[in-house]
Chain A
Amino acid sequence: MSAAGRAEGRLSLRQAAYVIARRDFTAILFSRTFIFFLLGPLFPLIVGALAGGIGQQVAAEGGAPQIGVAMEGPRADAMLAAHAHLAPELGSALPDMIELKRLAPGESYNARRVLDERRGNLAAIVTGTPERPVLTGTEERIAHWQGPVALVAAQALRRMPTDFPEVALEKVATSGAKERSGRMSTAQAGQTLLFLLIMLLAGMVLSNLVEEKGNKIIEVLAAAIPMDAVFLGKLFAMLAVSMVGIAAWASVIGGLILLAGPAGPLGAQLQDLPTPGVGWPLFILLGVVYFAMGYLLLGSIFLAIGSMAATVREVQTLSMPVTMLQLLVFFFSSFALTQTGRPIELAAIAFPLSSPFAMLGRAATDEALWPHALALAWQVLAVAVFIRLGAALFRKRVMKSGPQGARKRRGLIALLKAQRDGP
């Protein structure tokens, strides 16, 4: 058949995919699902805020760990006085110190037994004398407090200056250390947001397909257009929906900043945010592109899974390992953030499913742009392969897993039962 004849007789792949994408896009955009999608990012924020608040409250109510002092009276007084003298200078570097027992001369004290009783916030006990202090506690506590206790003992023995010169303080907005730590936070936040959005969307595209199979529409589609077009249409419709969602979120945040002004609390907070390595505009642009890549990769897998499943339960069973895998990929990418330039980071960039996360992390921490060009080329290639494989599996499986398949399985079970029961 000539190309012209074919064009006359059927829709091209692009046209057919557009028909599906247009239907899905409008249907989802005007559905409750889209409202959930818009509100989706709020849930982790609310949960995070609640968890943080509760954590702070628990920590506050639990109190800070303390070091108990059990020495002869004057020595215990000297230790506590030294602690009181040093505390304003050292702040939180010095743990709380309390008098546990004033010992009589020659009296022994069993610190191990007292710690075994697990009293209050007592984390370690100093016994002996300031000249020869003995610190009893768990391994990590004594390793951490060895220095501060020695400092307090030295002060008690007056082996340290009694006056400390006043240090004049000059604040700067940032430093190399602060910027690095801030960029790491930005990278982690970006990766987390990317992960949540992709998982949410992939789940939506999957439930959309299952619903379609349940509605028996899939056969109408399969008869009219190539299955590849159904696959592509669904995949890109959801991507378009997500772009609308992201645009809506960006508008809301932008609107709030404009309303509050740059001096407002939100504007000030945003100004305090550490600038990502590639700068904010490029970071946001790369975030959107990596989101699209990550979604297309995972969406292809989820759609292929959907083609094999006949019921929602089957979908849940089949998609669980992929969800777990994606969670591992997310953790892998987060870990790779701390391994800049090492083989682990390169592996995270090379593995298609983790590549968008790893590269977004890199965009936050590193200024270089060329790695993004390379990674995007690699991801585009991976997306093409995933879509092709996913569409092939979809085409092969989608018409074999409907209710008829279920009927056949029931028939098989009945046959096996009949064989077992005999004539």
Chain B
Amino acid sequence: MRKTCVNMVYALAKRDPRIVFIGSDLSPGLLDDMKAEMPDRHYMEGVMEANVIGMAAGMAMDGYMPFVNTIATFITRRCYEQVALDLCLHNLPVRLIGNGGGLVYAPLGPTHLAIEDMAIMRALPNMTVTAVADADEMVRLMEASLDWPHPIYMRLAKGGDPIVSDAARGFEIGKAIPMRETGASDGVLIVATGVMTNRALAAADMLEADGIACEVLHVHTVKPLDHEAILRMAARARLVVIAEEHTIVGGLGSAVTDVLVENPLTPMPAIRRLGIPDRFAVNYGVQDDLLEIYGLQPAQIARSIVDNLK
């Protein structure tokens, strides 16, 4: 997904003169081909996130669309005021590409785990928050970003994640995608974002084998949130489960809960949020290990749903 994303920056830059790439201190040779072809639009600026965001803002004020890339924790936490004021207050079309969203950097410990990135980004007016499911969908997000006039935070996954998205379902920023619809009433709805969507789909398969009807809504855009799709699918569910690779504080679970609380359904489905508890990680291992510890793997999601239906 990351490779697809940065390669798309170059591909888009070839046909859109507004596109500029700004990295911090990334892998040697990253986008060297772009650097060779358009040296004045490829920047590798070093470990200075605050400055990089401000520079991107200055470029955007004069007509550019900078894609800024560094590790998700640093592009969100380290330069939060620059993101809030330079980008969001000015409402500029700068794209923040956050490597290693969620638990991807498990072996590196809590300094590198972006577990609250979506919460803090979505708290900012004018910010758009996205987490696509796979590399194919990343292509569609990158294409769509060209026509989006606001700042965007793009959470990237580990890479090599299973392809579950489908171009036939379309892609529009702010429009959630039903990935699995049974149409059954009184069933279960799983709302997921990012790579949790593939785990939600796997959990739904398991539940179906047990005779439990389960629909899956993929929310690649956490903000602006697709209220209509959430309310439409939740209206026929008796249980809505939000599954996210993110702290339960302020992420997709909170956002969906807000929508359901403010638009009460009759009957109101039960709501369960599956996410990362409100504490820093104490384990290492790999992403899948931490997802297992937090109960976010498919079988665990399915089991949690069965337990909640009792």
A interacts with B: no
